[in-house]
Each structure stands twice: as structure tokens, then as C-alpha cells.
Amino acid sequence: MNHIAIFLLIIAPFATLQSQKSKRQIHLLQKENDSLRQELQKCQTGFFQRLTESLESPKFGENPKYSRAELHAKLLPQIKLRSEEKHAQALSIIASTDRFITYCGALKAALIQRTGGLNTTGQPLGARDNKASTQFFIEEKHGDEFKTKIEGLRSTFLNTIQNDPFFSPRIVILIETVPLETKAKSWAEYKFMGIPLNAVFPIIGKYESDALGSEAAVLQYLNE
């Protein structure tokens, strides 16, 4: 047997292992890409479109000309002139939204910490980790807790506007119905099962945006 044949026999197992490793990497990248595409498709339908409309149309929640702080500075004095009771309600609504935003930040911080922290550019080291979200949200039940927080904030908003038919559609924060065709057994599984970390943060961020848009609608209602 010549030297070339012997060399090929020696490196063959290593080439096979490298090929298998490459296939696994491609599979993981494809799964991450599919997850991100699914989230984008969700954002392009229904609820996110309603939020986009609320931010662009003067008749909906928050006018894009104003930041949240500017909107508070503009509306709170007007609400107070109308009614001390409504002003107290407005402050309570803002506090409820703040607590929800803080809670969302805590979720993200916990996920970053358990996946290795941040790199030198401030990005999560575990950005492509697709196991942490399953463990955190499903096995440890934080997904059920998150769902309860969302439903609770929505209920607070709706109760404040007394389910007004004109303002109710502007309360855009809500739990989507799990599609019948999915294999997920719960909302938490549908949203977070096997989802890489860099796709989880936009999901959480969407609910933060929904909360802020809904808060603006409630403040406008109290200013009526």
C-alpha cells in the first residue's frame, strides 16, 4: 500500500467527524433562522399591525411626535385639571406599566446571566443558545408567569377604560391564541420552545411596546 493510500485511511475518520460537525452546525443555524422567520411572520400579522397603527395614527394610542415622557408631561396636567380621581388613576396606570417593563427587563437579565453574560461589545454570549429559553420559560414555568403578567396588565387597562368600545381596540397588549395546527401544548411552548436567545428578546420587546402603546391609549381615555 503506498503512502498516499495510508494517509487517506488515517484522515478518513477525521474527515467524517468534521463533516458530521458541519452538518450539525448547519442544522442549528437553519433552526435559528426558521425561528427568527416565524417571529417575523407573527409580527407582520394582526396584533403588531394594530400596534403600528396606534403609533402612526393620531386617533390611536401614542402619537409619534411625542416620546413617553413627553406624552406624560402633556397629558397628566390636563387630566389633573379634569379630575383628581382620574389623575390618580393615570399615575396608577403608569406605575403598573413601569412594573411590567421592569419585569420584562428582569427576564432578559436572567437569561443573559445564565447563558454566560455579555461580550465586550455588550451582546449576549449565548445569543444562539436554544436550550435556555425552553428550560427557563417552560420547565421552570416562567412562561406561565409571563403570561399571567401580560393578562393582568391588559385587565388593568381594560378596567380603567371601562371596556369602552372606542378605546378597547387600542389596548393591544394581549395573549395570542395558540394556532390549532401547532404542536405546542401551551402559549409558553408556542412562543419559547427551542427558540434561540436572540429571537426571545424581540418577543419580550414586543410586549413591552404593546404595554407602552396601550398605556398611552388609557391616558388619552382619561383625558377625554
Report how far residue 64's alpha carbon sits from residue 68's, in angstroms, rounded to the nearest whole number: 10
Asked whether the beta carbons of 62 and 71 are under 8 A apart, the reply is: yes
Torsion of CA 109, 213, 156, 140, to 10 degrees: -30
Task: Answer yes or no: is pLDDT of 37 > 70.
Answer: no
Q: Mean pLDDT throughout 20-43?
A: 55
Beta bridge mates, 124: 118
Asked whether the beta carbons of 222 and 86 are under 8 A apart, the reply is: yes
- For the ranges 17-31, 41-55, 151-165, 180-194, the lowest mean pLDDT is seen at 41-55
DSSP state of 136: I
pLDDT band at 90 (very low <50, low <70, confident <90, very high): very high
- For the ranges 32-46, 91-105, 168-182, the lowest mean pLDDT is seen at 32-46
Q: Each residue of 110-160: pLDDT tens digit?
A: 999 999 998 888 888 888 998 999 999 999 999 999 999 999 999 999 999
HSE (side-chain half, CA atoms, 13 Å) at 67: 2
Q: Beta-carbon neighbour count of residue 78 at 10 Å?
A: 14
Grid coordinates of 221: 381615555
What does the DSSP assignment read for 105-133?
Answer: HHHHHHHHHHTT-B-TTS-BTTTT-SSHH
Q: Each residue of 49-84: pLDDT tens digit?
A: 333 343 334 344 444 568 999 999 999 999 999 999
Asked whether the beta carbons of 40 and 33 are under 8 A apart, the reply is: no
- Whether pTM > 0.75 for this model: the answer is no
State residue 12's pLDDT score. Answer: 55
- For the ranges 32-36, 72-76, 107-111, 219-223, the lowest mean pLDDT is seen at 32-36
Q: Beta-carbon neighbour count of residue 214 at 10 Å?
A: 28
Instruction: Show me where the domains of the chain are located.
Output: 45-222
Beta bridge mates, 118: 124
Asked whether the beta carbons of 197 and 57 are under 8 A apart, the reply is: no
State residue 59's pLDDT score. Answer: 41
State residue 44's pLDDT score. Answer: 42
65/162: higher pLDDT: 162
HSE (side-chain half, CA atoms, 13 Å) at 7: 3
State residue 71's pLDDT score. Answer: 93
Grid coordinates of 62: 401614542
Task: Answer yes or no: is pLDDT of 48 > 60.
Answer: no
pLDDT band at 19 (very low <50, low <70, confident <90, very high): low
Helix (H, G, I), strand (E, B) or coil at 179: coil
State residue 58's pLDDT score. Answer: 38
